[in-house]
Structure 1
């Protein structure tokens, strides 16, 4: 009959083996590895909105994306994204984030070049005030055109040209999300 100690030992070994099966490629750690490019801001001012938002790299080498959403003038979104080189991530399962949220629902976004208005979104809602590792599989991303879902376009992971974050929850108020790392992962 197995003892509690032997069961715990077996579970610990199983968890360690499972953890070793995940391979990652750092895309940005906001310190030395800056593979995915520079960060740029796009707020609802592009369509007359009044939301304010942007990103800075903190002294702790984290990306701080924060601001204030305003629903005035039919606004209501703020986003940051990279611009830079195109990457072939087809050997990977998805994107892994180490992130701390504010309880609001954000979108992890990607782009693949070509049509600059076409983006791919996947919802994320990191816990308020707590660091978490989130794995977002590429298959969970859906195509959008000016924020509207487009069912016919599939994410081409061979040509990922941008990664970003968007807040588009139609709620007024302050927001902040902090990101320690962005990686491609493979299970």
Structure 2
């Protein structure tokens, strides 16, 4: 399969299909935002709070349905802050569960390889007894932080590709 660029951040990037979803949907007080920074990269940062049964921040990117039948993995070029994040995908945005892959960041630019076969189903932090992600359909990707602790975070994203 020829690599497919899903999203590339630059100075003219359109963030209209990206949205923040924090634990405030459940009464928490965590906060976050996504912007294009002065370097033209996507900057997702904020503060995770465990108060009021909170504990996560997420940014979601939705798009028209894609089929990844011949794809092997996602490739994400990013720079973090040493925190663990999750890369999540959904077949359909209407599904409650996601398929999740956790990764640790460094403060240097790195390319995270997310094998499609390692995306495991989960709902609200609980693993589900369902098959792993098969790549037949894709409508949403998410970056989430929720490490069961109060913390600030910063994730700089350059590009997301399917290979």
Local SS of the residue matching 2:136: helix
Gaps spanning 5+ residues in structure 1: where?
Answer: 1-21
Q: What is the 5 A alignment of 1:17-166?
A: 23-31=2-10, 38-113=17-92, 115-127=94-106, 129-166=107-144
Gaps spanning 5+ residues in structure 2: where?
Answer: none
> What is the TM-score normalised by the length of structure 1?
0.80
- Take 2:93 and 2:149, find their aligned partners in 1: how far apart are those partners? 31
Local SS of the residue matching 1:73: helix
> What is the TM-score normalised by the length of structure 2?
0.91
Root-mean-square deviation (CA), in Å? 2.2
Query: Hey, what does 1:178 align to over in structure 2?
Result: 156
Poorly superposed stretches of 4+, deviation over 6 Å: none
Q: Decide which moves more: 110-119 or 66-75.
A: 110-119
- Take 1:65 and 1:157, find their aligned partners in 2: how far apart are those partners? 26
Structure of higher CA gyration radius: 1
Q: Which has the higher helix share?
A: 1
Q: Which has the higher strand share?
A: 2
- Per-residue CA deviations over 1:57-113 (Å, capped at 9, x if unaligned) read 223221111000101011000000112211111211110011101111100010111
